[in-house]
Structure 1
Amino acid sequence: MRYTEARMMPIAELDEGTVDFRANYDGTLEEPATLPARLPFLLLNGASGIAVGMATEVPPHNLREITDACIRIVENPKITDDAILACIPGPDFPGGGRLISSPESIRHAYLTGRGSLRVRATWDVEKLARGEWRIAIRELPPGVSTAHILAEIETLSNPQPKGDGKKTALTPEQQALKNTMLAQIDTVRDESGKTHAVRVVIEPKSRNQDPDTLIQFLLAHTALETNASVNLTMLDLDGKAPCAPLAHILRQWVNFRIQTVRRRSQFRLGKALARIHILEGRLRVLLDIDAVIRVIREADDPKADLMTHFALSEIQADDILEIRLRQLGRLAGIELEKELADKREIAESLNALLRDKTLLRNTIAAELADDAAKYGENLRTRIDTDTPKTSQNAAASMLDEPVTVIVSKKGWLRSRSGHNVDLNTLTFKDGDTLLAVFTARTVDHLALLDHTGRTYSIPVTQIPGGRGDGIPASSQADIQNG
């Protein structure tokens, strides 16, 4: 009450004695101790939270898949864990995306209650006029927003220097990523709105680029591909909070559902029997309404005399005294007999349900199937377990273009685009001159050897271009003293 409110949907059953109620935090109201969920909503909606000494990360799932698993448990309590997991290939996130973790990883997370799943965005390569193209991202991993993606791309394109404030130069990695971003991406914009819930458009610098190479770079360096944690810690029927396997959680919920339906049936049976008792009393006095009127008019204690004269219970006598006489007319008598027959039929079916465990389980399974048909939705998250994982070195393989690497005698490194570099235009710091010029490609590495025989490898993409003097090799490799 102090933190949130819950508005029950039609799928809830809170008014038929299905759960216990207790006093709320200040004792002024009654609140349900548990909610009599017709479906395991914790697994359907997911949950994320941190408590004292524990945390939980429950991914959301598809209603039809979870319901199918529950029906199988209801129909066969001895079903194996593997048979249950066969119904649930993986989570189903509301934002869609693609789950690219292996089946073994997903199964391990479900069997142990802990794991980490890899989720990737969904995109289309849209063809434009004159061979132009662009990438349109239409689904994002859970917890990732379009603003977050745009901020990450902006950080890569315009990084802030790292250090203690004295050094203002970018690190080699920052510079390399910046060069790659600026060489590959021309425009990024968010076109999300009423037409498209998610739409981030990325336009390349050149139509001759490879779309797959560009998207692989973004997957490696942005949240377009991220991990979704699995930590199935939740309260069980004993009030404890273990990290439980998925199959165990579903079995616990099925047991809870059986208790809920049993209590609901007992509540409905009690209501039906109470109504039958009232109707039987009304039909009993219907045969002699004149006597009822005379007793009420002449008796000092009409209630007691009605109970004695017509063999009524106290509840039946109170009902007779409270109803209007016209409710005991001939037409009302026909309606009473019809209602009494209906209530007796309901009571008989409820008694049979409470006596027969198989019938009770069949009823629960039928309700689950109805809910799945009424509330179920198609899968939003596609499971692509055959998708190759993104390499974190995607930046190094991003560009494959000609480049000239220039090394000075004092160990300063720089690069120029292309192989036709006019060496006469090169300038050096005082006391420094040209040592070597290498025609290479951006996917290559520059190898340095010191006088002790140690070898140092520097990716060419980390060597800055521009018209300056470059950077010292010692800033790119941990060269030993001397």
Structure 2
Amino acid sequence: MSSLPPEPPADPEDNTQTEPLSRAIGERYLTYALSTIMHRALPDARDGLKPVHRRILYAMRELRLSPNGAFRKSAKITGDVMGNYHPHGDAAIYDAMARLAQDFAMRYPLVDGQGNFGNIDGDNPAAARYTEARLAATSESLMDGLAEDAVDFRPNYDGTLQEPVVLPAAFPNLLANGASGIAVGMATNIPPHNLHEVIDACLHLIKTPDARDDTLAGILQGPDFPTGGVIVENRETIAEIYRTGRGAFRVRARWAVEDLGRGLWQIVVTEIPYQVQKSRLIERLAELIQTRKIPILADVRDESAEDIRIVLEPRARTVDPEQLMAALFRVSDLELRFSMNMNVLIDGRVPKVCSLKEVLRAFLDHRRDVLVRRATFRLDKIAARLEVLEGYLIAYLNLDRVIDIIRHEDDPKAVLMAEFALTEVQVEAILNMRLRALRKLEEIELRAERDALQDERQALQAMLADERAQWARVSDQLKEVRNLFGKSRPEGQRRTLIAEAQDIAPLDMDAMIEREPLTVILSKMGWIRAMKGHQPLDAEVKFKDGDGPGLAIHAETTDKLMIFASNGRFYTLPANSLPGGRGMGEPLRLMIDLPNEAEVIALFPWREGERYLVASKAGDGFIVAAGDILAQTKTGKQVLNGDALLCRPVGGDHLAVVGTNRKMLVFPLSELPEMSRGKGVRLQKYRSGGGLVADDTLSDAAFLTLADGLRWQESGGRTRTEPDLTAWLGKRASAGSMAPRGFPRDNKFN
């Protein structure tokens, strides 16, 4: 038999589908976005869990890691979760499980960890092969009822196993432990709360279904962070946040003044805001001391052991502790704003920013569904057991005949079913009965069990027929959980204090700086330092190899130094924050965001009320007030648009300008406008070179008093004066005349 010839390869054109690029990308991106929103980033309002957390807890339950059982290696747990339910990286799964075990991240940890699971300093957990874990008691409450058809199950990713769509959740875990996540186009951030208060709010909502959000917020009070702290917001603000589902809470560290005797004292911080790493906080406080941004703070020490203890020492005993802490709250993570965005999945399908009432209602409706499903499941079990019990009782009433049938009949099953009208299930139970169960006492126990089951069935049927009875049972279940994890337990006590911020007068930091003379030196390569005292500006100073002198000025520690660069921006630096003069200083570009291509043109101390001329190489300029050049950030403040050339303090009544063409012009100061930002006006007219000749530009400018004439310094050091400036007087933007005889060849007034 000859073999068939191979089929020709398919034409690629036959397998090609054409569609617009926008639609193809849009459909695929929408699929990705929905997957991220529903299956990764947003928690379910019913159990407060994301899929990865739900799968971790369910896998640990399948491994029988009960709260009072043995621990198992985290690597084993991670492997089971990844292989059975969550086909993603093991590192992501382990990080998620580790967070569930961190008592500084979770208000009510869902995993009981053994080993290094990280700490509040920001250290990472040990590798999964070194740590062990088991379920916490709270997790058991979340999964209570899984074996009783309380929730729906779905196939896992490869269809070999089943996983729960949502957990029964005996308590509102979403609010109790909070959640955070970033999806596509939306995000969620929910702070943890006190479980006792959340359940109290649920009970009130059951009792009063039309309760107002303000009432529920009054019961809930506010977030309850695992790290404690103090929330400084008024009740109206908190109520508005819970009503809209959006807002931010100001959270501060908790501190106290510790008396050291003889008038000395120190501040001890015992609780820090949620999600603040203690090590980074202390680094920031040490940086504030080093840079002298808080001059009244002398030292910071970390004396923490099991509990947090950060010691802050004031520079003097006369410092007000309230003002010191108020200053630290403004510039460090001792105070932060925790944003709240209650964006959750309703019924596991619809993302929505919910109010407090909507979140509680979603949980309570879920609990009622769980109750009904468990009751229905229990009724089915009761019906099956009662059927068996009825068969047993018939067998006891006719015990001799039953034994005789079993001993002598070839098909006892059929005979028993026909003679006593038994079902197949009842006959199977009778035939599988042990001989020891034939005693008289067993019959009494069977009757008692039947009566108890009938009473239970009647009670369940009555509950299913009455909605009020269902809500009463949900209330009882919530009260049971409250007794287990509420304020009657030490771990259930509220940790975060709710208070209103006190109005403390802002502390004038400049007034706290000791006024001392400084000599500020900026090298040619941009290294800056401050030497104590007013040293001669031409004194010899050591520089790095290849570097040399640049600018030098006299200032004081209380001064704000202004730096004007060729990009037309002014930068501000506190003089007291400059490095000392013992070394070579530090690069100026590390202190301000000065571009590499920009050069420093002027360096001077800021003085209130002063005015300055700023001009570009093109010959444009204007006068700017001192108040308009102060910069609040490292990026500086743009003032002059163009390639900046010079900055001069305003004085006299006329301005003299000279160009690279050696033409000089003198015009009245009144012709110069005062602006806060811009290109300015033309100072002097220049001729365009054109071709191979360079254009003429502005070279220098100087203020003068017309009656005193113009002075300049010759190369030999002698000072020359031109008393009569009639030949150079003119209108602003004129071309001017050639400079006087003996004017410096570099076209600088010096």
CA distance in 2, matches of 1:99, 1:378: 16
Per the alignment, do residues 300 and 399 of structure 1 end up closer, same or farther by CA in structure 2, a change over 3 Å counting?
farther
Q: How does 1:65-84 map to 2 (within 5 A)?
A: 65-84=197-216
CA distance in 2, matches of 1:76, 1:360: 15
Of 242, 253, 257, 1:125 maps to 257
SS at match of 2:267: strand
Residue type at the aligned position of 1:10? E
In the other structure, the counterpart of 1:46 is 178
In the other structure, the counterpart of 1:400 is 512
Of 189, 193, 209, 1:57 maps to 189
How many residues end up aligned between the 2 structures?
A: 438
CA distance in 1, matches of 2:168, 2:464: 18
Is residue 303 of structure 1 aligned with residue 435 of structure 2? Answer: no
In the other structure, the counterpart of 1:427 is 536
CA distance in 1, matches of 2:323, 2:235: 26
In the other structure, the counterpart of 2:436 is 326
Residue type at the aligned position of 1:428? L
Moved more, 312-321 or 110-119: 110-119
Q: How does 1:8-47 map to 2 (within 5 A)?
A: 9-11=139-141, 12-13=143-144, 14-47=146-179
Structure 2 length normalisation: TM-score?
A: 0.53
Q: How does 1:156-235 map to 2 (within 5 A)?
A: 156-158=288-290, 178-181=291-294, 183-194=295-306, 196=307, 198-235=308-345
Residues 146-204 of structure 1 show CA distances to partners (whole Å, capped at 9, x for unaligned) of 1121121233344xxxxxxxxxxxxxxxxxxx1244x433432222223x2x1111223
Unaligned runs of 5+ in 1: 159-177, 409-413, 449-455
Instruction: State the Cα distance separating 1:465 from its structure 2 match.
Output: 9.7
Residue type at the aligned position of 2:207? E
Per the alignment, do residues 447 and 460 of structure 1 end up closer, same or farther by CA in structure 2, a change over 3 Å counting?
closer
Moved more, 29-38 or 361-370: 361-370
CA distance in 2, matches of 1:75, 1:157: 55
Instruction: State the Cα distance separating 1:447 from its structure 2 match.
Output: 12
Q: How does 1:263-274 map to 2 (within 5 A)?
A: 263-274=373-384
Q: Is the 8 A contact 1:220 1:390 kept in 2?
A: no
CA distance in 1, matches of 2:345, 2:207: 25
In the other structure, the counterpart of 2:494 is 379
CA distance in 2, matches of 1:252, 1:143: 28
Per the alignment, do residues 370 and 250 of structure 1 end up closer, same or farther by CA in structure 2, a change over 3 Å counting?
same
Is residue 473 of structure 1 aligned with residue 601 of structure 2? Answer: no
In the other structure, the counterpart of 2:386 is 276
In the other structure, the counterpart of 2:365 is 255
Residues 376-431 of structure 1 show CA distances to partners (whole Å, capped at 9, x for unaligned) of 1221111112434896xx5x4374365267899xxxxx9999xxx9xxx653348x
CA distance in 1, matches of 2:322, 2:304: 23
SS at match of 2:509: coil
CA distance in 2, matches of 1:460, 1:149: 23
CA distance in 2, matches of 1:226, 1:88: 21
SS at match of 2:220: coil
Q: How does 1:336-347 map to 2 (within 5 A)?
A: 336-347=446-457
Q: Is the 8 A contact 1:119 1:227 kept in 2?
A: yes
In the other structure, the counterpart of 1:237 is 347
CA distance in 2, matches of 1:437, 1:295: 117
CA distance in 2, matches of 1:466, 1:191: 30
Residues 99-135 of structure 1 show CA distances to partners (whole Å, capped at 9, x for unaligned) of 1123333222222222121100001111113222111
Q: Is the 8 A contact 1:185 1:203 kept in 2?
A: yes
Instruction: State the Cα distance separating 1:303 from its structure 2 match.
Output: 1.4
Instruction: State the Cα distance separating 1:86 from its structure 2 match.
Output: 2.3
Residue type at the aligned position of 2:603? P
Unaligned runs of 5+ in 2: 1-80, 83-92, 98-110, 112-134, 487-491, 521-528, 540-551, 563-569, 586-601, 607-628, 631-636, 641-645, 648-750
Instruction: State the Cα distance separating 1:136 from its structure 2 match.
Output: 1.0
CA distance in 2, matches of 1:398, 1:35: 58
SS at match of 2:345: coil
Question: In percent, how many aligned pairs have the same letter?
Answer: 35
Residues 364-386 of structure 1 show CA distances to partners (whole Å, capped at 9, x for unaligned) of 11221222122112211111124
In the other structure, the counterpart of 2:132 is none
SS at match of 2:515: strand
Q: Is the 8 A contact 2:231 2:252 kept in 1?
A: yes
Q: Is the 8 A contact 1:75 1:362 kept in 2?
A: no
Per the alignment, do residues 390 and 398 of structure 1 end up closer, same or farther by CA in structure 2, a change over 3 Å counting?
same
Q: Is the 8 A contact 1:146 1:190 kept in 2?
A: no
Of 103, 106, 111, 2:238 maps to 106
CA distance in 2, matches of 1:137, 1:405: 36
Per the alignment, do residues 238 and 214 of structure 1 end up closer, same or farther by CA in structure 2, a change over 3 Å counting?
closer
Residue type at the aligned position of 2:449? E
Instruction: State the Cα distance separating 1:226 from its structure 2 match.
Output: 0.5
In terms of fraction of residues, the more helix-rich structure is 1
Instruction: State the Cα distance separating 1:55 from its structure 2 match.
Output: 1.6
SS at match of 2:502: coil
Instruction: State the Cα distance separating 1:459 from its structure 2 match.
Output: 9.5
Per the alignment, do residues 216 and 415 of structure 1 end up closer, same or farther by CA in structure 2, a change over 3 Å counting?
farther
Q: Is the 8 A contact 1:100 1:383 kept in 2?
A: yes
Instruction: State the Cα distance separating 1:261 from its structure 2 match.
Output: 0.7
Moved more, 237-246 or 134-143: 237-246
SS at match of 2:322: helix
Moved more, 5-14 or 223-232: 5-14
CA RMSD across the alignment: 3.7
Instruction: State the Cα distance separating 1:138 from its structure 2 match.
Output: 0.5
Q: Is the 8 A contact 2:323 2:505 kept in 1?
A: no
Instruction: State the Cα distance separating 1:308 from its structure 2 match.
Output: 1.3
Per the alignment, do residues 437 and 62 of structure 1 end up closer, same or farther by CA in structure 2, a change over 3 Å counting?
closer
Per the alignment, do residues 466 and 34 of structure 1 end up closer, same or farther by CA in structure 2, a change over 3 Å counting?
closer
Residue type at the aligned position of 2:537? F
In the other structure, the counterpart of 1:451 is none
Per the alignment, do residues 107 and 459 of structure 1 end up closer, same or farther by CA in structure 2, a change over 3 Å counting?
farther
Residue type at the aligned position of 1:115? G
Q: Is the 8 A contact 2:293 2:577 kept in 1?
A: no
Residue type at the aligned position of 2:372? R
Residues 178-233 of structure 1 show CA distances to partners (whole Å, capped at 9, x for unaligned) of 1244x433432222223x2x111122333333322322222121100011111111
Over 4 Å off, 4+ runs = 404-408, 414-417, 434-438, 445-448, 456-468, 474-482
In the other structure, the counterpart of 1:138 is 270
Per the alignment, do residues 388 and 270 of structure 1 end up closer, same or farther by CA in structure 2, a change over 3 Å counting?
farther
SS at match of 1:202: strand
Q: How does 1:1-12 map to 2 (within 5 A)?
A: 1-2=81-82, 3=93, 7=135, 9-11=139-141, 12=143
Instruction: State the Cα distance separating 1:94 from its structure 2 match.
Output: 0.7
In the other structure, the counterpart of 2:18 is none
